[in-house]
Copies of this chain bind each other. A is one copy, B any other.
Amino acid sequence: MKPGFAALPEPPYYAVIFTSQRTPGDAGYSEAAERMLALAAQQPGYLGVESSRGADGLGITVSYWASLEAIATWRAQMEHAATRDQGRAQWYEHYELRVAKVERAYGWSRGEPEPRP
């Protein structure tokens, strides 16, 4: 899989779409974000993550999970919960989170004639 893209199984699986507006400055954010990515990757049912943030501070991170149970377990993970508290205290102006069931997926890479299912 290309850098930045999650290598995922065939659907169905679940996506957590996290859209956020960062506060100015780092204040420990980068280190914590890296730690959360590493910790998430160790959770049962974790499938992958894709993340981007623009110069305006608006970012979208989509994490992929095998089941709603896996998402609930990750949400209850204590260090993750503490980091979310810190996120509201320091790092975010606003966020929206949506949990969704992926029903269909396809992709394309340069050199391929058409999108592949």
Q: Are A15 and B100 in contact (CB-based, < 8 A)?
A: yes
- As for how many copies of this chain the complex holds, the number is 2
Interface size on A, residues (CB 8 A): 42
Contact A15 B94 (CB under 8 A): no
Q: Main SS of the interface on chain A?
A: strand
A11 interface residue (CB < 8 Å to B): yes
Q: A17-B15, A53-B52, A54-B54 are in contact. Are A101 and B104 (CB under 8 A)?
A: no
Known pairs A60-B60, A96-B106. 8 more at Cβ < 8 A? Answer: A4-B56, A11-B98, A17-B17, A19-B52, A62-B62, A92-B110, A94-B109, A98-B104
Which residues of A approach B to under 8 Å, CB–CB? Answer: 2, 4-6, 11, 15, 17, 19, 21, 23, 50-56, 58-60, 62, 88, 92-110, 115
